[in-house]
A = this chain, B = another copy of it.
Amino acid sequence: MNKEIYNALLSLRNNSISVDEAYNSIVSLYNSDLGFANIDMMRTERTGCPEVVFCAGKTVEQAETVIADIHERGKPVLATKAGRVLAKRVQVRFPEAGYDELGQILSLGTLCNEEKRQGLIVVATAGTSDLPAAHEAVRTAEFLGSRVKLICDIGVAGIHRLFSRLDEIREARVIIACAGMEGALAGVLAGLVSSPVIALPTSVGYGASFGGLSALLGMLTSCAPGVSVVNIDNGFGAGYQANLINRS
């Protein structure tokens, strides 16, 4: 129940305000921020993630200001694509800040208590070079309250490595398959497990990889159902979506 509307009605009922005053009060809520701030608050509760700071394209000063502002309002912060210089500055100011340099991701606080953690998310990578995107996914999902396990270097060029970890992978409620080059890991996994697979293409590779395009197209056109795809190198998006599914 929206208290501001209800109070206005009570005041009207009590004759402490006129019909016109009540009308204006209610309509101003509707016409300005209240209605959509309501949406906003719903959004906060719903996503468990009030503010994520995308640092690419921001100056170090801009990014630092935004992070400090959120933190000082008492909310947890997650900042992605955060370079080492920014991280140093934030950690000087807030020593409790955590920074994963490989994943270029920085956090202040967390959104969950230990007991909220639920189903397992497995982040599987094809190779060592996929680790930056994978780390971004791991840190994001952990920040949002999921348990995460990282399983590295099980690309399909040596498919036995994948099979030897299959039992662990099958424990996941959601799987993030992180691969560059031809991106076949997603489709092969989706054919072997019963969980939804979030495919995370990476820009690992050269030549006809065209910055991750080959992995992206391969994952989109996988003949194995049960795969959906996020943007190239978007570890944050993969971790976020996996957490949503895990929580649902």
Contact = CB atoms under 8 A, between A and B. Distances in A.
Contacts of A58: 128-129
A94 interface: no
Contact of A226 (B126, B204, B221, B244): B244
Determine how many copies of this chain the complex contains.
8
Interface in A198-248: 198-199, 201, 203-234, 236-238, 240-241, 244-245, 248
Interface string A42-61: 11001101001010111000
A87 interface: no
A226 B27 CA distance: 28
A194 B248 CA distance: 9
A23 B139 CA distance: 41
B248 A232 contact: no
Given A57-B129, A187-B156, A164 B37 contact: yes
Contacts of A201: 207
Nearest to A198: B228
A220 B231 contact: yes
B190 A157 contact: yes
28 contacts: A10-B19, A13-B19, A30-B30, A30-B35, A39-B192, A43-B158, A52-B225, A54-B223, A81-B206, A119-B248, A156-B187, A157-B222, A159-B188, A180-B221, A182-B183, A196-B245, A206-B232, A207-B212, A207-B216, A207-B232, A208-B212, A209-B217, A213-B217, A217-B217, A228-B230, A228-B237, A228-B238, A245-B245
